[in-house]
Protein backbone atom coordinates (compact mmCIF):
# COMPACT_ATOMS: atom_id res chain seq x y z
CA UNK A 1 0.00 0.00 0.00
CA UNK A 2 3.07 2.25 0.08
CA UNK A 3 2.70 3.12 -3.62
CA UNK A 4 -0.63 4.84 -4.39
CA UNK A 5 0.07 4.59 -8.13
CA UNK A 6 -0.69 0.86 -8.08
CA UNK A 7 -3.85 1.24 -6.01
CA UNK A 8 -7.08 0.99 -8.02
CA UNK A 9 -10.23 2.06 -6.19
CA UNK A 10 -13.85 1.32 -6.96
CA UNK A 11 -16.44 4.07 -6.56
CA UNK A 12 -17.70 2.34 -3.41
CA UNK A 13 -14.21 2.26 -1.90
CA UNK A 14 -13.65 5.93 -2.73
CA UNK A 15 -16.90 6.83 -0.96
CA UNK A 16 -15.97 4.70 2.04
CA UNK A 17 -12.60 6.43 2.31
CA UNK A 18 -14.25 9.84 2.61
CA UNK A 19 -16.82 8.58 5.10
CA UNK A 20 -14.52 6.52 7.32
CA UNK A 21 -11.72 9.10 7.24
CA UNK A 22 -14.19 11.41 8.93
CA UNK A 23 -15.73 8.86 11.30
CA UNK A 24 -12.62 6.86 12.27
CA UNK A 25 -9.73 9.26 11.73
CA UNK A 26 -11.62 12.39 12.78
CA UNK A 27 -10.81 14.32 9.60
CA UNK A 28 -13.75 16.61 8.69
CA UNK A 29 -14.92 16.37 5.09
CA UNK A 30 -14.22 20.05 4.53
CA UNK A 31 -10.58 19.47 5.54
CA UNK A 32 -10.31 16.59 3.06
CA UNK A 33 -11.60 18.99 0.40
CA UNK A 34 -9.06 21.61 1.47
CA UNK A 35 -6.19 19.13 1.28
CA UNK A 36 -7.31 17.83 -2.11
CA UNK A 37 -7.72 21.29 -3.62
CA UNK A 38 -4.49 22.68 -2.21
CA UNK A 39 -2.44 19.74 -3.47
CA UNK A 40 -4.06 19.94 -6.92
CA UNK A 41 -3.27 23.65 -7.05
CA UNK A 42 0.40 22.89 -6.46
CA UNK A 43 0.44 20.53 -9.44
CA UNK A 44 -1.33 23.08 -11.65
CA UNK A 45 0.97 25.90 -10.56
CA UNK A 46 4.05 23.84 -11.39
CA UNK A 47 3.52 24.46 -15.11
CA UNK A 48 3.44 28.23 -14.38
CA UNK A 49 0.19 29.14 -16.15
CA UNK A 50 -0.53 32.85 -16.41
CA UNK A 51 -4.28 32.35 -16.59
CA UNK A 52 -6.58 29.50 -15.53
CA UNK A 53 -10.28 28.85 -16.14
CA UNK A 54 -11.91 26.48 -13.66
CA UNK A 55 -15.26 24.84 -14.37
CA UNK A 56 -16.91 23.82 -11.09
CA UNK A 57 -19.84 21.42 -11.05
CA UNK A 58 -22.83 21.08 -8.71
CA UNK A 59 -21.21 18.71 -6.18
CA UNK A 60 -18.09 18.32 -4.09
CA UNK A 61 -15.86 17.99 -7.15
CA UNK A 62 -16.86 21.59 -7.77
CA UNK A 63 -15.93 22.35 -4.17
CA UNK A 64 -12.43 21.07 -4.90
CA UNK A 65 -12.35 23.55 -7.77
CA UNK A 66 -13.16 26.50 -5.51
CA UNK A 67 -10.32 25.48 -3.18
CA UNK A 68 -7.96 25.20 -6.15
CA UNK A 69 -8.94 28.69 -7.24
CA UNK A 70 -8.19 30.15 -3.82
CA UNK A 71 -4.71 28.66 -3.67
CA UNK A 72 -3.87 29.67 -7.25
CA UNK A 73 -5.03 33.20 -6.47
CA UNK A 74 -2.55 33.36 -3.59
CA UNK A 75 0.17 32.52 -6.10
CA UNK A 76 -0.89 35.40 -8.33
CA UNK A 77 -2.44 33.35 -11.14
CA UNK A 78 -5.15 35.17 -13.13
CA UNK A 79 -8.40 33.24 -12.65
CA UNK A 80 -11.93 32.92 -13.88
CA UNK A 81 -14.17 30.42 -12.10
CA UNK A 82 -17.45 29.26 -13.62
CA UNK A 83 -19.93 27.47 -11.35
CA UNK A 84 -22.17 25.29 -13.53
CA UNK A 85 -25.00 25.21 -11.00
CA UNK A 86 -27.23 27.43 -8.93
CA UNK A 87 -25.14 28.50 -5.95
CA UNK A 88 -27.92 27.88 -3.42
CA UNK A 89 -28.01 24.21 -4.46
CA UNK A 90 -24.35 23.48 -3.77
CA UNK A 91 -23.65 20.96 -0.96
CA UNK A 92 -22.41 22.52 2.31
CA UNK A 93 -18.64 22.07 1.89
CA UNK A 94 -18.71 23.28 -1.71
CA UNK A 95 -20.92 26.24 -0.79
CA UNK A 96 -18.55 27.24 2.01
CA UNK A 97 -15.58 27.28 -0.35
CA UNK A 98 -17.57 29.17 -3.00
CA UNK A 99 -18.37 31.84 -0.41
CA UNK A 100 -14.73 32.08 0.72
CA UNK A 101 -13.56 32.47 -2.88
CA UNK A 102 -16.20 35.14 -3.49
CA UNK A 103 -15.21 37.01 -0.32
CA UNK A 104 -11.60 37.03 -1.52
CA UNK A 105 -12.63 38.74 -4.75
CA UNK A 106 -11.98 35.82 -7.11
CA UNK A 107 -13.71 36.24 -10.47
CA UNK A 108 -16.72 33.91 -10.00
CA UNK A 109 -19.68 33.36 -12.31
CA UNK A 110 -22.75 31.23 -11.61
CA UNK A 111 -23.95 29.75 -14.90
CA UNK A 112 -26.74 27.26 -14.29
CA UNK A 113 -27.94 27.41 -17.91
CA UNK A 114 -26.16 27.10 -21.27
CA UNK A 115 -27.26 30.65 -22.09
CA UNK A 116 -25.55 32.11 -19.01
CA UNK A 117 -22.45 30.04 -19.73
CA UNK A 118 -22.32 31.32 -23.29
CA UNK A 119 -22.57 34.90 -22.08
CA UNK A 120 -19.55 34.47 -19.81
CA UNK A 121 -17.42 32.70 -22.42
CA UNK A 122 -18.21 35.36 -25.03
CA UNK A 123 -17.52 38.40 -22.84
CA UNK A 124 -15.25 40.99 -24.43
CA UNK A 125 -12.87 40.87 -21.45
CA UNK A 126 -12.48 37.10 -21.70
CA UNK A 127 -8.84 36.05 -22.01
CA UNK A 128 -8.00 32.68 -23.52
CA UNK A 129 -6.70 30.65 -20.55
CA UNK A 130 -3.39 28.81 -20.51
CA UNK A 131 -5.09 26.04 -18.56
CA UNK A 132 -8.68 24.76 -18.24
CA UNK A 133 -9.56 22.78 -15.12
CA UNK A 134 -12.39 20.24 -15.07
CA UNK A 135 -13.82 20.18 -11.54
CA UNK A 136 -17.29 19.40 -12.86
CA UNK A 137 -18.38 15.88 -11.90
CA UNK A 138 -16.74 13.27 -9.68
CA UNK A 139 -16.69 9.49 -9.34
CA UNK A 140 -20.42 9.18 -8.72
CA UNK A 141 -21.46 10.46 -12.15
CA UNK A 142 -22.82 8.21 -14.90
CA UNK A 143 -23.79 8.83 -18.51
CA UNK A 144 -23.74 12.05 -20.46
CA UNK A 145 -23.28 15.22 -18.39
CA UNK A 146 -26.39 17.41 -18.30
CA UNK A 147 -26.61 21.04 -19.41
CA UNK A 148 -24.76 23.30 -18.90
CA UNK A 149 -21.94 20.88 -17.99
CA UNK A 150 -22.04 19.32 -21.44
CA UNK A 151 -21.67 22.73 -23.11
CA UNK A 152 -18.68 23.58 -20.92
CA UNK A 153 -16.96 20.29 -21.82
CA UNK A 154 -17.55 20.68 -25.56
CA UNK A 155 -16.17 24.21 -25.43
CA UNK A 156 -13.14 23.15 -23.37
CA UNK A 157 -12.25 20.31 -25.73
CA UNK A 158 -12.05 22.78 -28.63
CA UNK A 159 -9.54 25.09 -26.93
CA UNK A 160 -5.75 24.97 -27.41
CA UNK A 161 -5.30 25.32 -23.63
CA UNK A 162 -3.80 22.65 -21.41
CA UNK A 163 -6.67 20.64 -19.90
CA UNK A 164 -6.51 19.21 -16.37
CA UNK A 165 -9.16 16.94 -14.82
CA UNK A 166 -9.74 16.75 -11.07
CA UNK A 167 -10.12 13.16 -9.77
CA UNK A 168 -11.26 11.98 -13.23
CA UNK A 169 -12.35 13.51 -16.53
CA UNK A 170 -16.05 14.35 -16.47
CA UNK A 171 -17.95 11.81 -18.54
CA UNK A 172 -15.73 8.87 -17.56
CA UNK A 173 -17.32 6.03 -15.57
CA UNK A 174 -14.89 5.47 -12.69
CA UNK A 175 -15.76 1.77 -12.36
CA UNK A 176 -16.11 0.61 -15.97
CA UNK A 177 -13.92 3.09 -17.85
CA UNK A 178 -16.70 3.77 -20.34
CA UNK A 179 -16.72 7.28 -21.79
CA UNK A 180 -19.89 9.27 -22.32
CA UNK A 181 -20.43 10.76 -25.76
CA UNK A 182 -19.51 14.10 -24.23
CA UNK A 183 -16.39 13.64 -22.09
CA UNK A 184 -13.61 15.97 -21.02
CA UNK A 185 -10.34 15.16 -22.80
CA UNK A 186 -7.57 15.74 -20.26
CA UNK A 187 -3.87 16.25 -20.77
CA UNK A 188 -3.38 15.54 -17.06
CA UNK A 189 -5.68 13.82 -14.56
CA UNK A 190 -5.07 14.62 -10.89
CA UNK A 191 -6.77 11.74 -9.08
CA UNK A 192 -7.21 11.41 -5.33
CA UNK A 193 -5.56 8.78 -3.10
CA UNK A 194 -5.21 6.15 -5.85
CA UNK A 195 -6.20 5.47 -9.42
CA UNK A 196 -9.76 4.38 -10.19
CA UNK A 197 -10.60 0.91 -11.52
CA UNK A 198 -12.01 2.36 -14.70
CA UNK A 199 -8.63 3.88 -15.58
CA UNK A 200 -7.46 0.41 -16.62
CA UNK A 201 -9.89 0.28 -19.55
CA UNK A 202 -8.57 1.10 -23.01
CA UNK A 203 -11.56 3.38 -23.57
CA UNK A 204 -10.47 5.52 -20.61
CA UNK A 205 -6.84 5.89 -21.64
CA UNK A 206 -7.64 8.17 -24.58
CA UNK A 207 -9.10 10.88 -22.33
CA UNK A 208 -7.07 10.52 -19.10
CA UNK A 209 -3.76 11.93 -20.30
CA UNK A 210 -0.96 11.72 -17.75
CA UNK A 211 -2.23 10.38 -14.41
CA UNK A 212 -0.91 11.88 -11.19
CA UNK A 213 -2.05 10.63 -7.78
CA UNK A 214 -2.76 13.36 -5.22
CA UNK A 215 -3.07 12.69 -1.49
CA UNK A 216 -5.79 14.24 0.66
CA UNK A 217 -4.01 14.33 3.98
CA UNK A 218 -3.40 10.96 5.58
CA UNK A 219 -0.87 8.14 5.38
CA UNK A 220 -1.50 5.07 3.26
CA UNK A 221 -1.20 2.83 6.30
CA UNK A 222 -4.39 4.51 7.52
CA UNK A 223 -5.92 3.93 4.10
CA UNK A 224 -5.13 0.22 4.39
CA UNK A 225 -7.09 0.08 7.62
CA UNK A 226 -10.02 1.82 5.97
CA UNK A 227 -10.06 -0.59 3.04
CA UNK A 228 -9.43 -3.64 5.21
CA UNK A 229 -6.33 -4.63 3.24
CA UNK A 230 -2.70 -5.11 4.35
CA UNK A 231 -0.40 -2.08 4.08
Quick: pLDDT tens for 150-173: 999 999 999 999 999 999 999 999
**CA 45 to the chain's CA centroid:** 15
Q: Which among 149, 160, 209 has a CA at the least distance from the CA of 182?
A: 149
Among the CATH numbers 1.10.10.10, 3.40.50.300, 3.30.460.80, 3.40.50.10260, which is that of 4-227? 3.40.50.10260
Q: What does the pLDDT read at residue 49? A: 94
- Region of 193 (left: φ > 0; alpha: ψ -120 to 50; beta: rest) is left
* Local confidence band at 224 (pLDDT 50, 70, 90 cut-offs): low
Quick: pLDDT tens for 34-92: 999 999 999 999 999 999 999 999 999 999 999 999 999 999 999 999 999 999 999 99
Who has greater pLDDT, 218 or 179?
A: 179
Out of 18-22, 136-140, 156-160, 198-202, least confident range: 18-22
Who has greater pLDDT, 142 or 152?
A: 152
Does the pLDDT of residue 231 top 50, yes or no?
Answer: no
Quick: pLDDT tens for 58-69: 999 999 999 999
Query: How big is the chain by its Cα radius of gyration, in Å?
Result: 17
3-state SS record for 149-170 = HHHHHHHHHCCCCEEEEECCCC
Domain limits of the chain? Answer: 4-227
Quick: pLDDT tens for 101-124: 999 999 999 999 999 999 999 886
Q: What does the pLDDT read at residue 201? A: 96
In 10 A of CB 210, how many CB atoms?
A: 10
In 10 A of CB 106, how many CB atoms?
A: 18
User: Cα–Cα distance between 230 and 221 in angstroms, integer?
Assistant: 8
Quick: pLDDT tens for 190-219: 999 889 999 999 999 999 999 999 988 876
Contacts of 171 (CB under 8 A, 6+ apart): 137, 141, 144, 145, 153, 179, 180, 181, 182, 183, 184, 207
Amino acid sequence: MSDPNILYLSVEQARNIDRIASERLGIPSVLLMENAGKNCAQHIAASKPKSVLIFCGPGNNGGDGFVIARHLAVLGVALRVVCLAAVDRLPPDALLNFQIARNLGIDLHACETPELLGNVLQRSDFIEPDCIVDAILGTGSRGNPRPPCDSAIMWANQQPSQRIAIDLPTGLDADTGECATISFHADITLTFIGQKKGFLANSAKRILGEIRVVDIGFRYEALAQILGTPA
